[in-house]
Amino acid sequence: MAASETYSFDNDDVLKALLAVQPKAVLDALFEGDDQQQRAGIGVFDHRSNPADEISCEDLIAWCDQDRERRYPLAASFVTFAHRTEESGPKVWSEQAKALLAYAPDPRSVLVVFVERFRPTRWSGSRAAVMEANARLLDSLETDVSASLMPIAIDAKAQLAREVTREREWETARDRERDERFE
């Protein structure tokens, strides 16, 4: 992958198998080094089917606990933070995300990373709708985490609501312009 002879998504099955049996060794190999190398490691997980889903919560937390200040926010940047229990149902926090928020020495740093990821860089359909669905995850934080995160969640919800409004306005203008060209 580093030599650009293959793409990380071509190796998802291999990575999933390795993560299922040797998560610590794989994570250590992917995330050793400087920031650039760590970003490359994060990119390995940035696919529709996230190989990191193979890592048990216990193994993930054990790996994070080896360098708590650095690894908890790092893990928040590559785990699947939410999923739908039903195809058309609301998103819910993943078990990995809840574990990171529960065990992190600074859960605020983990939540900040998740909230940043609420703004997709790749999507289909309405980006505003994706952001809005992600923002609704913050509503369930009250039951899942400590009260100390609520001010961050409230601020993030307000900021995301403003961004969703701007994104919807942009999408409406873009759709209107596109429709006028075809008339």
Averaged pLDDT in 10-residue chunks for the chain of 183 residues = 51 87 94 76 74 96 97 96 90 96 95 95 89 92 73 93 95 84 63
Residues 34 and 105 in one domain: no
Domain that holds residue 70: 56-181
Residues 4 and 90 in one domain: no
Residues 3 and 75 in one domain: no
Q: How many domains does the chain have?
A: 2
Residues 99 and 126 in one domain: yes
pLDDT at residue 170, as a whole number? 94
Residues 75 and 16 in one domain: no
Residues 101 and 64 in one domain: yes
Tokens of 117: 């990821």
Residues 2 and 69 in one domain: no
Residues 21 and 81 in one domain: no
Name residue 30's amino acid.
L
Four-point Cα dihedral 171, 174, 178, 183, nearest 10? 90
Residues 88 and 138 in one domain: yes
Distance, in Å, from the CA atom of 61 to the CA atom of 171, rounded to the nearest integer, reads 40
Residues 73 and 144 in one domain: yes
pLDDT at residue 58, as a whole number? 98
pLDDT at residue 10, as a whole number? 57
Residues 63 and 139 in one domain: yes
Residues 153 and 96 in one domain: yes
